[in-house]
A and B are shown apart, each in its own frame.
Chain A
Amino acid sequence: MHQAAAYAAAVPPHTYITFLALVEAIIPYTAACSAPGDVQSAGAVQFGVHEYLIWELDHNLSLWQGFYLTAVPLSAPTAELLNYGAAQFTALGYNQAPPCCAGRTGCPFADLHPADRIRVLSMLEQSDQLDLAPLPPPYRNDLGIVRYMIDFISRQTLFGNYSEWPAYGSTRLRVPTERRLECFPPGWSQVRYPGVVPGYRAFMGSVLTIERQGGGTSIVCS
């Protein structure tokens, strides 16, 4: 098993499935709009972005506890947050689409239709009526931190997907200094970004130029 697979295998299954369901709802596999195997069809799950989120959340926070600086992993409590939100959502009868795999995953969030997962995110960041007491720290009774986190995982899914991260391949879950590119980033292929290049011959002139002579400054229009 390569290192990334070993890392992922060590994550509790509930956490893993929940993040997989999250990134799938944000950037799905879209077979319909492209030929099979086309890079355009791949979504965040195919790029492993759920693993990226888990890594990011588990390497995000350290606090001084007693006499030591202690890392505080956040992926498990954040998965709990999403599942708690999903359970409340279903109990309130908010579902608008048939569940995709009710009861099969053991994770209320992953059981929902992808569109309803997005509604859960929206509910969590808006609702000041939800009872946040049953949540684990740092979310217990702290709507502000919930809002911060929903926002973080949403945008970070996009950043993981459309940056070079998936191309680190088998090294993608190593410490950042030990990651190595194994292919051209697939998210960059999807958007036709040429990648890192030394420059472009794209100089089209200057509208204004600052000239400095003898301490004074003048502006020249071209």
Chain B
Amino acid sequence: MCAAESMFDADVIVIGSGGGGAVAAKELGEAGLKVLVLEAGAWYGNKHWANPNSEHGGDWSSDYKDLDIGIYKKVFNSYENNMNDVVSGTFRFGPADRRRTPWHRIMRQKGDIWQASGVGGTTQHYWSQSPRAFPQAIDQVWPLSYRELIPYYEKAEATLPVQFSPTTPKEELFYYGAKKAGWQLNPTLNVTTPGYRPNPNAILPPNDRLMDPGCSLEELSDMEGCTLRGNCVNGCASGPSVDRIAKRSTLVSYVPLALKTGNVAIRPNSFVIKVLTSHDPKEGLRATGVQFRDTWTGEIGELTARTVIMAAGCIETPRLWLNSSLPFNEWVGRGLTNHCFDWVGGVFEEKELMRIMGLPEVYPYVGHTSGARVDIPGTGIFQVSCLSPGLMSFLTYGFSEAGYNALNPPEPGEPWNIRGRVVGPQLKELMRNYSRTMTMLLLTDDDTLYRNRVEVDPLLKDEHGPIPIVYYTPSPKTLKRRDQLARYASETLRQAGARQIIRSDTPFGFMLHLESTMRMGYVTDTNCEAFQVKRLFIADNSVHFNGIGGPNPTLTTQALATRTAEKIVAKYFS
């Protein structure tokens, strides 16, 4: 190693500790590399940050023993407004200091970008569904094959770990409707034909004693295993220690494993504002480190490393590229996909539910937030997904591309009775039926279009530089598939006996599954290394070539990050 090389602060710097970044950190730490992770948001459940939302706390943590379940559970209190308010909630995209405003993104359309900052990133409130991509969306489409991904899928699935969802009343009702609508059970992880199945979720199975009245639910929630408390979206708080929390956000899965390697240090409250580069006589332009801003003090720091991984998510990764003035590439920020969501709900009569399940309600607040699905390669997915009342009310009745149901009711003959926002006494009446309402999220096989993009505003800045602007308009084909999914989902609800069917016609700009803004093959090679900047890798959803056909994206990011870590070691450290 030459003198200059030994002056680096680390082998690898990872920017962002969410769905992808935490995986890369753990894999590289296990390979013996010295890794520094910079995370913009807070760290919940670590002794160095006892009051993470009101005090600066420490700087770095690199010791597994720093994890603290008491602090974690104090923050993760499961109250939906406290946890999930996009402006002020624990899971907003913003600074740890909740007195301050969130970090802004400009959208000139209906909807919202639902990402979370903090160690664990958006997986803190994700529903942990971990399906593989549809093979037909990868083979002969991506610059690598589905078969090449399989060992990495298997490794990520075993590490999280992933298991099929247990049945609770809402899944029972979903299966009943799906079977009557003609869908067959599809017992596979590699989905090539349509059918229904429980969700492969990164959630620990229920504790064996869950149904034993001799063990109290309070005790159970401090033991290992899911207690079916239905709060995955509001942050899971069941488990005996941070690393054994039931729902496997990277905060509780990959981050503890990374710390256990003894090679990984994580600094929360550190927003990277620039990727540093230099010209190497042999390699050309190469990444050498980062500049970051402490979100509490505003101080700017610099760290150097032999390689840098961008894992700041689909908006901040391209923003950081643009704000760092890295070389022009017309695909940076382009090709945004989002599964063009829709949301369909059914209201059931008590007697119908009694007849089918022997139960008077759907109990939408019981069990995994999302526990079962119908996969339709080439079209997308519909999956039972039920939320606490505040979230459920706005997703079902509070926003819509279609405007207001009362002003623009559905055409006769449509499979839904209601389409669009509901207001007034009708809304109150529908919400009174909350516990007899089953809702479903629809994920569309979304076309990758150059026009859908993240760019930065020419004038408006925040403390981290020009702020992102996000544009997304689905293609006619995407919309056709989405409409087809809404019909399939409605049919399953009708077959299950729903009395009223509601289609939200979700705003296209409601973004949870952002992908493909730094596409492999355009911005990076198949190792996920940037074509134009050596030693700069990408390990978040942005590196996907497309929207993987509709399946929830994170497992694919985690498989790829596992593979990228292997490639980094092989190329630069062996």
Contacts and interface: CB of A to CB of B under 8 A. Distances in A.
B217 interface: yes
A120 to B, nearest CB: 11
B363 interface: yes
Contact of A175 (B98, B228, B462): B98
B164 A208 contact: yes
Contact of A208 (B102, B198, B389, B404): B198
B71 to A, nearest CB: 13
Interface stretch (B166-174, B443-451, B525-533): B166-174
Nearest to B95: A62
Given A188-B389, A208-B198, A62 B77 contact: no
B107 A148 contact: yes
A80 B169 CA distance: 47
Interface in B366-416: 366-367, 372, 388-394, 397-399, 403-404, 406-407
B424 A25 contact: yes
Contact of B398 (A28, A62, A126, A159): A159
B110 to A, nearest CB: 4
Interface in B502-528: 507, 509
A119 interface: yes
The range of chain A's interface size is 35 or more
B189 A219 contact: yes
Contact of B428 (A30, A197, A198, A203): A30
A148 B461 CA distance: 19
A118 interface: yes
A193 B386 CA distance: 12
A69 interface: yes
A69 B390 CA distance: 32
Nearest to A163: B390
Interface stretch (B32-40, B206-214, B254-262, B283-291): B206-214
Interface string B325-341: 00000000000000000
Given A122-B407, A209-B163, A147 B85 contact: no
Given A144-B109, A196-B79, A217-B157, A203 B88 contact: no
Contacts of A177: 53-54, 98
Contacts, number: 259
A60 B365 CA distance: 29
A210 to B, nearest CB: 6
B168 A204 contact: yes
Given A203-B211, A204-B169, A207-B167, A193 B428 contact: no
Interface residues of B, number: 99
Name, among B101, B206, B238, the residue most crowded by chain A CB atoms within 10 Å (CB to CB): B101
Name, among B172, B220, B421, the residue most crowded by chain A CB atoms within 10 Å (CB to CB): B421
B108 A162 contact: no
B388 A193 contact: yes
A145 interface: yes
Contact of A176 (B82, B189, B229, B399): B82
B461 A63 contact: yes
B187 interface: yes
Contacts of B154: 215, 217
Given A40-B432, A204-B167, A63 B462 contact: yes
Contacts of A118: 404, 406-407, 423-424
A221 interface: yes
Given A64-B463, A202-B363, A207 B88 contact: no
B5 to A, nearest CB: 36
Interface string A138-172: 00001111011011101111111111110000000
B431 A164 contact: no
B498 to A, nearest CB: 18
A142 to B, nearest CB: 7
Interface string B155-167: 0011001111111
B463 A148 contact: no
Contact of A126 (B88, B167, B403, B434): B403
B245 to A, nearest CB: 13
A156 B459 CA distance: 28
B81 interface: yes
Given A114-B424, A159-B391, A190-B428, A201 B210 contact: yes
A6 to B, nearest CB: 17
Given A176-B98, A190-B431, A219-B164, 16 more contacts: A27-B423, A27-B428, A56-B87, A63-B461, A148-B107, A148-B108, A193-B435, A198-B229, A199-B217, A199-B221, A199-B227, A200-B228, A202-B228, A202-B367, A207-B164, A207-B372
8 tightest Cβ-Cβ pairs between the two chains A and B: A144-B108, A199-B227, A163-B390, A155-B398, A198-B221, A191-B434, A163-B81, A151-B110
22 contacts: A62-B104, A154-B399, A158-B398, A158-B427, A160-B81, A164-B81, A164-B82, A190-B428, A197-B229, A199-B221, A200-B229, A201-B228, A204-B167, A204-B168, A204-B169, A204-B172, A205-B167, A206-B205, A208-B197, A210-B163, A217-B189, A219-B188
Interface of A: 25-28, 30, 33, 40, 43, 56, 59-64, 69, 71, 114-115, 118-119, 121-122, 125-126, 142-145, 147-148, 150-152, 154-165, 175-177, 179, 181, 187-188, 190-194, 196-210, 212, 215, 217, 219, 221
